[in-house]
């Protein structure tokens, strides 16, 4: 069950209709995917599951996902022309519907490519425009956005987690939940850290200074202020 902690969870988001779960949530999934990829991909394969697959045209779910991938916020009226927009802005979109059973009825899988880079993300829309991310680049995660969240890729080796959490502790930043996953021993691993309060930029820089860390993705601004989310994409 969702937990409401703000008047803006109820009064908002500002969005294009018609459905907070099938439209606004879908824009946020697209925005999250863009943030995680770090830039706008050249091509994207979108797979829709469950209710997303059945009702996407009536709700404009496809338009909303593409709009998010193009960096548009939940309230952008350009979303209804997202297919034309994608063509103009150089994003090739492939959409398919899958009958496969998934945990949540409103699930989308997004596979992004640019040149020889590719990355995938799976997310579901859980109501009122809120989303959960369940998979990033093959790692199972559970990002619910109840708290500010950062994703940190790193080389799996002893002491890495302690080095990151030490920095947070030194700055009295409380970790509300943390998850570590890896594909195999010694390969790339992923830390998902949710904190009480946003991690200040100076602290983020200190974490970035750890040499063995890979890309760090901050998802803290994604939920409440749609227009900030679009500006939060690294490399823009």
Partner 1 sequence: MKLYPKNFSTAVHNCNLSGISLSRYFLDIEIVLNETTEDEILRQMEKNLSVMEKAAAKGIAGVTSFSGLTGGDAKRLAAFRATGSPFGDSLYLEAMIQSLAVNEVNAAMGVICATPTAGSSGVLPGALLTMRDKLNLDRRAQLNFLITAGGTGALIGNQASISGAEGGCQAEVGSASAMTAAALVEAAGGSPSQSAHALAIALKNLLGLSCDPVASLVEVPCIKRNAVGVVNAIAAAEMALAGIESRIPVDEVIQAMGSIGRMMPMALRETALGGLAQTPTACRMTAMLQQEGHIPWPFPAAGRNED
Q: Considering the complex, what minimum distance in angstroms separates the CB of residue 147 from partner 1?
A: 8
Q: Is 78 in the site for partner 1 (CB under 8 A)?
A: no
Contact, 199 vs 150, CB < 8 A?
yes
CA 2 to CA 200: how far, in whole Å? 26
173 binds partner 1 (CB under 8 A): no
Find the farthest-apart pair of alpha carbons in the chain and give their distance in angstroms, rounded.
50
Q: Is 197 an interacting residue with respect to partner 1 (CB under 8 A)?
A: yes
Tally of CB atoms within 10 A around 108: 29
Task: Please report, as residue ranges, which positions from 81 to 100 form the binding site for partner 1 (by CB under 8 A).
Answer: 97
8 contributes a contact to partner 1 by CB under 8 A? yes
Candidate list 38, 45, 80, 161; residue touching partner 1; CB under 8 A: 80
Told to check if 226 binds partner 1 by CB under 8 A, we report no
d(CA 191, CA 178): 7
59: helix, strand or coil? helix
Summarize as ranges the residues that interact with partner 1 (CB under 8 A): 1-21, 23-24, 50-51, 53-60, 75, 77, 79-80, 97, 105-106, 127-129, 176, 196-197, 225
């Amino acid at each position: 069950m969702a937990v409401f902690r703000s008047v803006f969870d109820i009064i908002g988001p500002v969005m294009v209709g018609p459905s907070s779960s099938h439209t606004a949530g879908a824009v946020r999934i697209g925005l999250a995917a863009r943030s995680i990829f770090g830039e706008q991909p050249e091509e994207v394969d979108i797979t829709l599951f469950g209710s997303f697959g059945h009702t996407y045209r009536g709700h404009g779910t496809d338009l909303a996902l593409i709009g998010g991938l193009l960096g548009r916020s939940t309230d952008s009226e350009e979303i209804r022309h997202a297919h034309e927009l994608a063509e103009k802005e150089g994003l090739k979109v492939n959409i398919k519907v899958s009958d496969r059973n998934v945990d949540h009825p409103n699930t989308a899988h997004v596979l992004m490519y640019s040149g020889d880079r590719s990355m995938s993300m799976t997310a579901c829309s859980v109501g009122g425009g809120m989303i959960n991310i369940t998979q990033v680049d093959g790692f199972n995660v559970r990002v619910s956005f109840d708290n500010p969240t950062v994703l940190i890729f790193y080389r799996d080796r002893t002491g890495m987690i302690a080095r990151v959490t030490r920095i947070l502790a030194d700055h009295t930043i409380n970790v509300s939940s943390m998850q570590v996953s890896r594909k195999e021993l010694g390969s790339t691993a992923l830390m998902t850290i949710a904190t009480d309060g946003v991690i200040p930029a100076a602290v983020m820089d200190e974490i970035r200074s750890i040499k063995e860390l890979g890309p760090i993705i901050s998802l803290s601004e994604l939920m409440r202020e749609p227009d900030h989310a679009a500006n939060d994409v690294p490399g823009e």
